[in-house]
Amino acid sequence: MTYCVGLLLDDGIVMLSDSRTNAGVDSISTFGKMHAWQKDGDRALVLTTAGNLSLSQSVVTLLKDGFADEDGKACDLMQATSMFEAAGMVGAAIREVARRDGEGLKEQGVEPNLSMLLGGQIGNRPHELYLLYYAGNFIKATEDTPFLQIGEIKYGKPILDRVITPATPLVQAAKCALVSMDSTLRSNISVGLPLDLAILPKGALKFALKKRITDQEPYFASIRGLWGEGLRKVFQTIPDPDWGV
């Protein structure tokens, strides 16, 4: 399983992913699920993946090497002129891999699944965040829904629902993503460290931070302790019901 979250803020984009891959509980591995494309001052894009690892690795390889879509058009994220066009290229890569491997998986009784988050900014176009599905179609985060999640999304959603608005500053959004990840790690063993975190300020066309967070990272360790402790404290401060029990 996987948990990835992307946040689209007035100030830029924050992306966070875990790195656990499992094929059954006795086959657990670490594979980074975050991939970046950057040319300083021109563009910065970041892609995170959930679902079948063989499918997502193939999609990323197509995108890194370049490929031709269904219409024979060359696809290269470093040449896309907008995030919308970039999302279209990722969708085309997903369909190409689905065409090649999807039926074979189904024949083996494995339902192919794949979803991706793509965030970034190209030139003077707006910074955008997309969620792509296995059919290669995609949706875009908006002011009304400033975050998108893939994988094991439920444990970490309540804190995002409560804290994140488009006006949330980048560092606080990163902190919120880490708290959301912590809740997921705590409740689902199939999501695991290390994490990959990327922060892309609006207009910078360059990541302000791309960081791998291991269990040795003191800030994340402190969040885990402070958040758990804080939750228990808030819980204690809520008065008990006066129901005569």
CB of 72 to a copy of itself, least distance (A): 39
Cβ at position 238, least distance to a copy of itself in Å: 5
The percent of the chain in helix, strand and coil, each rounded to the nearest 5, is: 35, 30, 35
∠ CA 70-73-78, nearest 5°, is 120
CA angle centred on 146, ends 188 and 88, rounded to 5°: 90
Q: Which is nearer to a copy of itself, 31 or 219 (CB)?
A: 219
Which lies closer to a copy of itself via its Cβ, residue 128 or residue 182?
182
Window of 58-66, 74-82, 123-131, 224-232 that interacts with a copy of itself by CB under 8 A: 224-232
Q: Which is nearer to a copy of itself, 4 or 170 (CB)?
A: 170
Burial class of 26 by CB neighbour count within 10 A (0 to 12, 13 to 18, 19+): exposed
Q: Which is nearer to a copy of itself, 25 or 245 (CB)?
A: 245
C-beta of residue 43 within 8 angstroms of C-beta of residue 205: yes
Residue 67 identity (one-letter amino acid): F
237 is a site residue for a copy of itself (CB under 8 A): yes
Residues 150-189, one symbol each (x = binds a copy of itself by CB under 8 A, - = not), give ----xx-xxx-xxx------xxx-xxx--x---x--xx--
Residues 131, 133, 138, 139: what is their CA dihedral angle, to the nearest 10 degrees?
-50
Peptide bond preceding 146: is omega within 30 degrees of 0, i.e. cis?
no
> Angle CA(195)–CA(83)–CA(165) in degrees, nearest 5?
60
CA distance linking residue 58 with residue 93, whole number of Å = 9
Judged by CB under 8 A, does residue 243 bind a copy of itself? Answer: yes
- Decide whether 25 or 234 has the Cβ nearer to a copy of itself: 234
Residue 65 or 240: which CB sits closer to a copy of itself?
240
Q: Is 230 in the site for a copy of itself (CB under 8 A)?
A: yes
Give the N- to C-terminal CA distance of the chain in Å, as an integer: 42
Smallest gap from residue 216 Cβ to a copy of itself (A) = 15
Query: By CB under 8 A, is residue 203 in contact with a copy of itself?
Result: no
**Cβ 94 to a copy of itself, closest distance in Å?**
26
Binding footprint of a copy of itself on the chain (CB under 8 A): 154-155, 157-159, 161-163, 170-172, 174-176, 179, 183, 186-187, 199, 201, 208-209, 211, 219, 222-223, 226-228, 230-235, 237-245
